Amino acid sequence: MKYKKTAIIFGITGQDGAYLSHFLLQKGYRVIGTTRNKSSRNLHRLKKLKIIKEINLLKGVATDLNFCKKTLNSKINEIYYLAGESSVVKSFETPEISLKSNTEGILNILRILKHKQYKAKLFNAGSGQFYGDNKKNFFNIHSKIEPQSPYGVSKAAAYWLIKIYRERYNIYCCTGVLFNHESPLRSKEFVTKKIVDTALKIKRKKGIILRLGNVEIVRDWGWAPDYVKAIWLMMQRTKPRDFIIGSGKTYSLKDFVNEVFRYLNISKKNLKTNVSRYKRKIDLRSYKANIADTQKILKWKPKLRFKTIIHKMINNELF
C-alpha cells in the first residue's frame, strides 16, 4: 500500500493521540506512535477505535534524546507532540515530571530537527491553562501568558521554545493552544469523566453519592474529535503559526452536572457539592477561547454543542 504521508505521534495512547491516529489513518497516512507503556490497559483507546493493528507502535519517550535520534528520520512528514503529564493537580505533587515531559521532550525533537535539517513539520499541544486567572479570561493568541501551576509553566516553556526555533531556525513548528476537550476516551482523572461515570453508577444503584468541590468554576468545553481536525489543519499550511483551539463558549461545572443528572433522570439527592476535600485553590475560576482567528484563517469551527458532547459521553458514542 502506498501511503500519502508518514506521521509520528508522541503520546499516541491518550485521548487526543488515539483520535488523531484514527483521523490520519482515514486520510491515508502511515502512522507511527510512541508510548511509555505497551501494556494492554494502556492501549485500550486504540483498541476501542479498532486501529491498534494499523499503527506501528514504539516503546519510548521523547525525554530520551537517544530514542528521538533513533526514531526520527527524513521520511517522516509530520510530528505531533501530544505526550507529557496533563494533570494540573499532579504537577503540584511532582513538578519535575510536568517540566520534563512537557518541555524537555519537545526540546529534544526541536534540537534534532535543527541538527539533522529534517523537513518534517512539528505540532506541539499547548494549553489554555498557561494564560492564568485574569478577570477578563477571554484569551487569544496574543494574550498575556501567566501560568498559575507547574503544568502551566511547562506548557508555556514549550510554547516559547517552539516560537524561538520557528523564528530563529526557520523550522516548521507550531503550537495549538488547546482548551478543555472531552469524549468517552477522556482519562478518569478529569472531573467531567468522574461526573459521567459516577452518574451512570447512580443510575444502576441509587445509594451512591457524587461528591464534588467548587462547581462554580467556568470552562470552555469542546469535543476531542473536532479538535484533532483543527490540529491537522494547522499542519497543512505553507507557513506555520500558532492557533487557539476551543469552542468560544463557556459553561460552569454546575451546568455540566445538571445536564448529566437531567439526561439520566437522577435525583439531586445523590449529589453533594462544595465538599471541602475536593475544593482546590489551584483551580482557575474561568477561561474562554477567542477562536475568531482560527475560524477565519483555518476555516475551522467546532461542530458539537455542549449538551451533545455530554450526551455522547454518557452514551459512550466515540464519534
Going along the chain from its start, the domains and CATH numbers come out as 6-182+221-248+288-303 (3.40.50.720)
Cα separation, 189 vs 256, whole angstroms: 16
Q: What integer pLDDT is reported at residue 279 of this predicted model?
A: 80
- For the beta carbon of residue 49, count every other beta carbon within 10 angstroms: 17
Tens of pLDDT, residues 179-202:
999 999 999 989 999 999 999 999
One-letter amino acid at 171 equals I
Question: For the residues 229-249, what does the mean pLDDT come to?
Answer: 98
Confirm if 16 and 227 have CB atoms less than 8 A apart: yes
Residue percentage of the chain with pLDDT more than 70: 99
SS3 16: helix
Q: For cell 501494556, what's the residue?
A: 39
- For the beta carbon of residue 39, count every other beta carbon within 10 angstroms: 10
SS3 82: coil
Residue 282 has pLDDT above 80, yes or no: no
Which residues contact residue 204 at a Cβ distance below 8 angstroms, ignoring those fewer than 6 apart? Answer: none
Cα separation, 293 vs 299, whole angstroms: 9
pTM over 0.85: yes
Residue 176 main-chain phi, psi, to 5 deg: -95, 115
Q: What integer pLDDT is reported at residue 228 of this predicted model?
A: 98
Lowest mean pLDDT among 21-30, 140-149, 280-289, 300-309: 280-289
Confirm if 159 and 124 have CB atoms less than 8 A apart: yes
218: buried, middle or exposed (CB in 10 Å: 19+, 13-18, 0-12)? middle
Query: Among residues 241, 240, 224, 12, which one has the least CA distance to residue 141?
Result: 241
Residue 136 has pLDDT above 80, yes or no: no
Q: Compute the mean pLDDT over every residue in the chain, rounded to the nearest whole number.
A: 95
Residue 305 main-chain phi, psi, to 5 deg: -85, 165
Residue 89 has pLDDT above 90, yes or no: no
Cα separation, 266 vs 210, whole angstroms: 11
- For the beta carbon of residue 312, count every other beta carbon within 10 angstroms: 18
Q: For cell 445536564, what's the residue?
A: 259
Q: What integer pLDDT is reported at residue 308 of this predicted model?
A: 98
Residue 124 has pLDDT above 80, yes or no: yes
Please, which pLDDT band fits residue 135 given cuts at 50, 70 and 90? Answer: low
Cα separation, 145 vs 153, whole angstroms: 9
Question: For the residues 276-300, what does the mean pLDDT come to?
Answer: 89
Residue 292 has pLDDT above 90, yes or no: yes
